Amino acid sequence: MMTTRLPNRLPRHLLLVVALAAAVPAGASNRLIAAGGRVSIARTPLTVTPASEWNRLGARPGRNAEVWTLDGDTLNALTFYAAIGEGKTLFRQADRREHPLPPVNRTMLLTDIPTLLENSYRSALGVATMTIDHVEPTPFAGAGGVHFSYSFVRPEEAIHVRGEGFGTLRDGKLYLITYEAPALYYFERSAAAARQVAESARLD
Amino acid sequence: MCRLIVPLLAAALCAAPVQAARETLPLPPFTTAYQPTTVDERGLWMEADEDERRMRDAPEVIRDPALNAYAREVLCRTVGPARCAAIRLYIVRIPMFNATTYANGMMTLWSGALLRLHSEAELAAMFGHEFSHFELRHTLTGFQRRRSGSDLLAWAGLLGAGGIALPTMVVGGFYRFSRAQEAAADMLGFRYLTAAGYVVTAPADLWTRVMAEQDATEIGRYRKPNQRYVAGFFDTHPTELTRATYLRAAAAQIGGGGVDEAARFRAAIAPWLPRLLGDQIKRNDFGGSEYLLNQLAVDGWTTPLLFARGELYRERGNPRDLSAAAGFYREAIAHGDAPAEAYRGLGLALLRSGQVEAGKAALRDYLARRADAGDAAMIATLIAG
C-alpha cells in the first residue's frame, strides 16, 4: 500500500488492548466479583452492588478505572471511571503526542459527559463512525445524572458495538459507568445485568 | 573475501528488482483486465484483493453517489478515461489528510483530505500522485527491494560479514528507496496534473498548507513547531518542505495557466462539509482545527464554519473560549440558516459561563426547533434546573 504522506499512527486495537500493553502491574490478575456484596471501585468512594457474578480484569484502562466482564472484554465490558478530576483523561493515553485525549473540566455540564466519551474514543480508537444516540436525565449514585446510548464500529473489524453510559459530576469530578458489547446478540444478553450494577451505584 | 562479498551483494540488491520488473512485466497494470504475471505480483494482488473485499463492505466507506461520482470524474479527468477505468476508488471516513493506493488498483481517499483541499486542482494532484504509484508498480518494486535487503542480510549473517554497517546500509537504503518512489510519484503526478489543464502550483500550495496546519497543531498543544528540512533515516516519505520545494520549482518551469475549479470543488463537498467539520472538531486538535477553519473562511465565515468554530471553542471550555463560542453561535444564528444545534451550543456555552437565564432561553429555542432531538429530555432538565 502506498500513501500520499507519512501516515499518522492510528491506534488500531481496542482501548483495553492498548491499556494492557501500556501497563499491567506485576501480579495483577483477574478476580471474580461475587454477587450481592458491596464493592468499591478503584479505591474511590464509588461503590456498586452487583446482583450477579462478574469478572474484574486485572488490566485497568486508567488509574481510576476498572473493567468487569462476563465473557471477555471484547464481548461485554462494564467499565467504571471513578473520581476523574480536573485536567485528567478518562483513560490512560496511549499516544499523548499524536492523539491526546480530552481532559475533564470542572465547569463541565452533564451534557458534556457523552461528548467527552465520544471524543476520547475518536482520539484513542481512530473511529470516525461513533454516534451518541440518546441522552436523558437519570438518577445516578444518589444524585442527578445522565444516561446515554451510543454506537460505534471497531476499526479493522467492522463490528458494530452498542454502548450505554451512566454518569454524573460530583465536586468537579466525573463518575461514569459504561457498558458496551457487540450489537449482535451480546449487547441485549447482558444489558439487564449491567444496568442493575449501574443503578446500584452509590457515592459515600 | 567477506569484504568483497558485501559490495557485490549490495550492487546486486540495487540492480535486481528494477531489471526484473522491466523484463517480465511488459504491460502496464492499467491495461484492460490486466492479470498479474510474476509470482511476486500475483501474491501482492492477492493480498490487495483480500483488503479490497473488506473495504468494499466496510462501514466507514462513504457511499454517497454524488460525492463518489464527482471524485471519480476528477480522477478520470486527471489520468484519462483509459487509465481511470483500472481504479476502484473508495472514499473513507477518516478525519485525517491522506490517500492510499494498493497494488491491484484499489485507491482510498480519506475524508480528512476533502476538508483540507481547496480546489479540484489539489484533488487532482492527490489522484495524480496516487495513480503514479499504481502505474509505476511501487508496491511491487518496494516489496522486492525489501526482500532483496533481507536476503542480503541473511547471507551476510551466514557468512559473518557486515557487522553493524551492513544492516544500517540496507535498512537506510530501503527507506531511501521509498522516498525516491514518493518523489517519482510526485513528479509523474505533476505531469498528469499539467496535462489535464489544472493549475500547476496546486500540489506545492497543498503541501505548504499541510505544514502550516502541523505547526498550528503543535502550537495549540503548547509545543514547538518541528518542520524538518531533511527526511529522517526511517522516513518513508520526503519531508513536506522538500516536496513543496521541488513541486514549486517544477511549477515555475511550466509557468502559469490552468484552472483550479475551486468553486466546483466547494459545491461538490458542500453537503458533506458539516459532517467533515464535525469529525475534525472532535479530534481534540484545537490549533489544527482553528487553522483549518480560518483557511476555509478566506472568503468569509459561512454558517457551517461559524457553528463548527463555536463547537470547537465550547469543547475546549476555558472561560474565554465559552465567551468566544457564544459569539460564534450568535453570528451563525444571525445568518438565518443555522442548524437548531447552534441554539443548543449557545445555551450550553452561556450556562457554563454563568449566564443562566440567557442560556436557558437559548436552550428553549433549541427545543422549540428540535422537540424530537435525542437529548431533548436532558436539555429540558437543564432548563428546569
Contacts of A122 in chain B (CB under 8 A): 279, 282-284
Residue of A nearest to B281 (CA): A119
Q: How many CB pairs under 8 A join A and B?
A: 117
pLDDT tens column, B197-223: 999 999 999 999 999 999 999 999 999
| Mean pLDDT of all residues in B25-51 | 89
Is A158's pLDDT higher than 90?
A: no
CB contact under 8 Å between B378 and A146, yes or no, is: yes
Crossing angle of helices B202-220/B286-296, nearest 10°?
Answer: 140
Distance from CA of B377 to the nearest CA of A (A): 5
Which of A1, A4, A97, A149 should be substituted to probe chain B, the one whose Cβ sees the most B Cβ atoms within 10 Å?
A4
Contacts of B372 in chain A (CB under 8 A): none
Q: Chain B within 8 Å of A101 (Cβ-Cβ)?
A: yes
At residue A12 the predicted structure's pLDDT band, cuts being 50, 70 and 90, is very low
Q: Indicate the helix (H) or strand (E) that contains A21.
A: helix A15-22
Which residue among A7, A122, A137 places its CB closest to the CB of B283? A122
Is B194's pLDDT higher than 60?
A: yes
pLDDT tens column, B30-41: 888 889 989 999
How far CA B248 is from CA of A137, B349, B374, in Å, comes to 57, 44, 50
pLDDT tens column, A184-194: 999 999 999 99
pLDDT tens column, B307-317: 999 999 999 99
Question: What is d(CA A102, CA A100) in angstroms, rounded to the nearest whole number?
Answer: 7
Q: Chain B within 8 Å of A105 (Cβ-Cβ)?
A: yes
Is B47's pLDDT higher than 60?
A: yes
At residue A29 the predicted structure's pLDDT band, cuts being 50, 70 and 90, is confident
At residue A15 the predicted structure's pLDDT band, cuts being 50, 70 and 90, is very low
Cα–Cα–Cα angle for A41, A44, A48, nearest 5°? 40
CATH classification (class only), B301-384: mainly alpha
Distance from CA of B313 to the nearest CA of A (A): 13
| Mean pLDDT of all residues in A109-136 | 90
| Mean pLDDT of all residues in B91-118 | 95
8 Å CB contact between B189 and B131 = yes
8 Å CB contact between A117 and A166 = no
Which domains are assigned to chain A?
A: 32-203 (3.40.1000.10)
Question: Can you tell me which residue has the cell 472538531?
Answer: B281
Edge-to-edge, what's the strand order for the sheet holding A143-154?
A31-33, A54-56, A65-69, A77-84, A173-182, A159-170, A143-154, A131-140
CB contact under 8 Å between A4 and B130, yes or no, is: yes
Those residues whose C-beta lies under 8 Å from the C-beta of residue A50, and which sit 6 or more positions away, are A33, A35, A36, A37, A39, A68, A193, A196, A197, A200
pLDDT tens column, B53-87: 999 999 899 999 999 999 999 999 999 999 999 99
Is B16's pLDDT higher than 80?
A: no
pLDDT tens column, B331-370: 999 999 999 999 999 999 999 999 999 999 999 999 999 9
Q: Chain B within 8 Å of A158 (Cβ-Cβ)?
A: yes
CB contact under 8 Å between B381 and A144, yes or no, is: yes
CB contact under 8 Å between A119 and B282, yes or no, is: yes
Those residues whose C-beta lies under 8 Å from the C-beta of residue A194, and which sit 6 or more positions away, are A76, A78, A164, A179
| Mean pLDDT of all residues in A86-99 | 89
Q: Phi first, then psi: what are they for A84, rounded to 5°?
A: -85, 115
Which residue among A2, A10, A105 places its CB closest to the CB of B133? A2
| Mean pLDDT of all residues in A39-57 | 94
pLDDT tens column, B261-278: 999 999 999 999 999 999
**What are the boundaries of each domain within chain B?**
2-254, 301-384
Neighbours of B279 (CB within 10 A): 21
Q: Chain B within 8 Å of A108 (Cβ-Cβ)?
A: yes
Closest CA to B207 of B300, B118, B296: B118
DSSP-derived secondary structure for B334-346: HTS---HHHHHHH
pLDDT tens column, B148-184: 988 888 888 888 776 778 888 888 888 888 999 999 9
Burial of B188 from C-beta contacts in 10 A (0-12 / 13-18 / 19+): middle
Pairing of strands A46-48, A202-203: antiparallel
Which residue among B99, B279, B377 places its CB closest to the CB of A4? B99
8 Å CB contact between B170 and B13 = yes
pLDDT value, residue A28 = 67
Residues forming a β-bridge with B128: none
Closest CA to B91 of B126, B118, B125: B126
Question: What is d(CA A53, CA B100) in angstroms, rounded to the nearest whole number?
Answer: 47
Mean pLDDT for all residues in chain A: 87
Question: What's the ipTM?
Answer: 0.86
Cα–Cα–Cα angle for A9, B75, B103, nearest 5°? 55
CB contact under 8 Å between B185 and A2, yes or no, is: yes
pTM of the model: 0.88
Is B21's pLDDT higher than 80?
A: no
Residue of A nearest to B94 (CA): A128
